[in-house]
Structures are given as structure tokens and as C-alpha cells.
Amino acid sequence: ATPMALMVGTGRGAALGILIKGPEVLESTRRVDTVVLDKTGTITEGRMSLVDVHPAAGEEADEVLRLAGAVEDASEHPIARAITAAARARSGRPLPPVEEFANDEGLGVHGTVEGHAVLVGRPRLLADWSVAMPAGLAEAKSDAEARGHTVVAVAWDGAARGLLAVADTVKEGSAEAVAGLRALGLTPVLLTGDAEQPARAVASEVGIDAERVVAEVMPADKDEVIARLQAEGKVVAMIGDGVNDAAALARADLGLSLGTGTDVAIEAGDLTLVRGDLRAAVDAIRLSRRTLSTIK
């Protein structure tokens, strides 16, 4: 009777917009006590928009945006798309081509544009390249982060040229989903490569405790955060959408990928939330508990 009841549960999952890799997945779903959620593209839409440009002293805002947009044109990252779209809209001309483009996963991008060696990414990236952050920009950075914006630094030819502030919107249903997870007795955790302040702003918007925010985690280290929780005896579900979430999805006791996410993430998950709606994760856990209790 057991396999039959599990199959019924799986079929019901499909109706709820949940794809389950195999019936055995329901068993690990039932045991989960901690749910780790990626921020960008999972809790939020992942469709960033540019909200501000802060040029460094002596620089032109439009030029900072134009060169940053040219490099980001070669990247698929949601931040890159926002910057490129704004740069195009603002300059009204095609962006110049980028040569020697390179992507530092979880940090940013660099390349040569009109003979300038341009760097665009996390402010931390500047230090890695021995580029100093002028005091005026450091202040603009704190102000923007306090407002929950993600700050991207732009540098070329060895000097910081400005900051771009981008913002993302929380998906409809994310707060409801977090409340639903709590109602099931689960602990929600937010995991992101983004900075502490924008991470906390999103956490507070959806109802995740500030002490359950794990920010500034490099893509390669996301799965170690899962392993650490498991070492504390937690049974961990991970929900994510990106290439940078794949290892964490695989490491988790239960990996939930978003149908709206990348193929690599979907491949790594045990269960897919077809429409990318986090409320389906709550349905999945509820369903697994119900299905397995009918078996007993």
C-alpha cells in the first residue's frame, strides 16, 4: 500500500504546481525542520532595476552607467540586465562592444571598453583589484544599503568611478509562504551572496528573523552553510533558482528548485516549484505530511 499512497501524493503534487522527482522524496520532505531560502530570484523577482547612479568626484553619471552597461551586456546576471537596460535607455545609442570579458561568479564582471579596463561588481571586488574607494562613495554606499539597495561599484583604469544602486522587489506570496513555513513549525533562513543590509531588508519584509540571515556568501560556499546546519542536527530544505544554488540544492536533505530558474538548479533539486511561487513549497511540505500519515 505504501508505494500506492506515495504515487497518489505525487499526482496531487502535479496539480498543485509541484513536480516531484520520485516518490521517495516525500519522506525527506516530511522530516525537514529548517528551510533555507536563496534571496535573489527566489524570495525576490530577480528582476532588478537601477535606482541611482553616484558618480565619483569629477566623473559623469551617464558615462559611469554607459561603460558599466557595456561590460554587463555580456552577463546574464539580473543585476547586469538592470544596468544594461538602464544604460541603453539613458544613452539612446547602442552600447560599445566589450573585449576580454570575464565573469567572476558572485563578485562581478570586467572587460575592456573603448580601451578602458572596466570593472563592475561588488564593492569588495575593488579591494581585490587594489582600487581604493573614495570617502564620498563609501558614504553613498552606506546610505544606499541602509535603504535596502544593492550597491555595485564601477571602476576603470585603476580608479573607482562611481556606484550604481539597484533594487529588486519581493515576489507576491513570499511573505505568505514564510508565514506558512513557520505555521508548520519550520525555521526559515535567508541565504545570499548579497550584502548584509539589503539581505536584512528583504528578510524583514518577508518575516525572516535578522539572526537567520546569512549574507555575503560566495557561490561556492552556499553548500557549506547547508552542511553546517546539518552538522547541528537540522534536517534542511534548500529553495533556490540559480546556478550558484545548485551545490546547495544537492547538499540539502531536500532541494526545491524553481521552475522559473536555471536548468542546472532544476537538475539539482528533488522537487520543482513549477511556477516559481514559494507558496507551493508550503503546499509540498503539507502534502508530504498528509500523504505519509495516511500510510501509517
Enumerate the active-site residues: 38
38 binds ligand ADP (CB under 6 A): yes
Report DSSP state, residue 44: B
Q: Return the closest-CA partner of residue 54 out of 128, 176, 149.
A: 149
Nearer to Mg ion, 160 or 256 (CB): 256
Binding interface with Mg ion (CB under 5 A): 38, 40-41, 241-242
Q: Note whether 229 binds ligand ADP by CB under 6 A.
A: no
Which of 25, 95, 113, 120 forms a contact with ligand ADP (CB under 6 A)? 120
Task: By CB under 6 A, tell whether 171 contacts ligand ADP.
Answer: no
Residue 210 neighbours by CB distance under 10 Å: 11
Amino acid at 11: G
CA angle 238, 28, 7 (to 5 degrees): 115
Q: Choose from Mg ion, ligand ADP, none: what does 109 bind? Cβ within 5-8 Å by kind.
A: ligand ADP
* Min CB(77)–Mg ion separation in Å: 10
> For ligand ADP, which residue of 242, 259, 269, 276 counts as binding (CB under 6 A)?
242
- What is the β-pairing status of strands 187-191 and 213-214? parallel
**Number of chain positions touching ligand ADP (CB under 6 A):** 23
By CB under 6 A, tell whether 214 contacts ligand ADP.
Answer: no
Q: Which of 29, 174, 197, 244 binds ligand ADP (CB under 6 A)?
A: 244
Give the residue with the Cβ less far from Mg ion, 241 or 253.
Answer: 241
> Closest Cα to residue 126, out of 150, 110, 145?
110
- DSSP states along 262-295: -HHHHHH-SEEETT--THHHHHHHHHHHHHHHHH
Should residue 223 be labelled a site residue for ligand ADP when binding is judged by CB under 6 A?
A: no
Residue choice 29, 37, 39, 277 for contact with ligand ADP (CB under 6 A): 39
Q: Are 253 and 32 in contact (CB under 8 A)?
A: yes
Determine phi and psi for 286, rounding to 5 degrees: -60, -45
| Contacts (CB under 6 A) with ligand ADP, residues 56-95 | 72, 75, 77, 79-80
- Answer whether 270's CB lies under 8 Å from 13's CB: no
List 191's β-bridge partners, or say none.
38, 214
Residue ranges in contact with ligand ADP by CB under 6 A: 38-40, 72, 75, 77, 79-80, 106-109, 120-122, 150, 152, 192-194, 219, 242, 244
